[in-house]
Amino acid sequence: MKTALVLILFAASAFAQDQAAIAAAEAACGPKAVKFDAKQDATQHPVPQPDPGKALVYVIQDIGEIPCTGCALTKVGLDGAWVGANQGSSYLFFAAAPGERHICVNWQSWLGLRSRAFGLANFTAEAGHVYYFRVRIFESRSIYYFDLDSTNSDQGKFLVASSAFSVSHPKK
């Protein structure tokens, strides 16, 4: 009996630690209840410059061969606040203050399985610099995974040039 109790306590402790680690990682995201409307706009291709004293960050979503190309809407967060959303293969950009920054992408879906898909990355932003992050979505046995990685400026510029601009706003 004592052995079973000890095993249950260890299992509960391990579960609590995993939940704490997940919560800490998801701190880069915004509130779960926030939802976005987003659409691709191929008619505009903004070329912004970094704001004075800030870095410029691009997040380019490349969904590749995933079926239902137009339905992959992912929210993009920075340091605990949502900054926008990408719809399908598209990109968005935003300013970031200098220092260590944490980015989150989360699939906005009414399907619980998809809405649990997250991608996380961190970087040290420097004023006047431009950073590019590529989001790729992979499916394996009906489970979706995000790959969120920084990419070099040449690849980043190419991905932006070959993607649609994403226009998004929070749903009211």
pLDDT band for 33, please (50, 70, 90 cuts): confident
16 assigned to some structural domain: no
19 assigned to some structural domain: no
Per residue in 84-141, pLDDT (tens digit) is 999 988 999 999 999 999 999 988 866 655 666 778 999 999 999 999 999 988 777 7
- Rounded mean pLDDT, 15-19: 60
pLDDT band for 6, please (50, 70, 90 cuts): very low
So what's the pLDDT on residue 50?
84
1 assigned to some structural domain: no
The rounded distance, in Å, linking the Cα atoms of 52 and 127 is 7
73 assigned to some structural domain: yes
Kindly report the number of other CB atoms within 10 A of residue 87's CB atom.
25
Show the domain range for 138: 27-170
14 assigned to some structural domain: no
- Cβ atoms 69, 89 nearer than 8 A: yes
Higher pLDDT, 14 or 139: 139
11 assigned to some structural domain: no
The rounded distance, in Å, linking the Cα atoms of 78 and 121 is 10
CA 38-42-43 angle, to 5 degrees, is 115
Q: How many domains does the chain have?
A: 1
Mean pLDDT for all residues in the chain: 82
Per residue in 135-162, pLDDT (tens digit) is 988 777 767 777 899 999 999 999 999 9
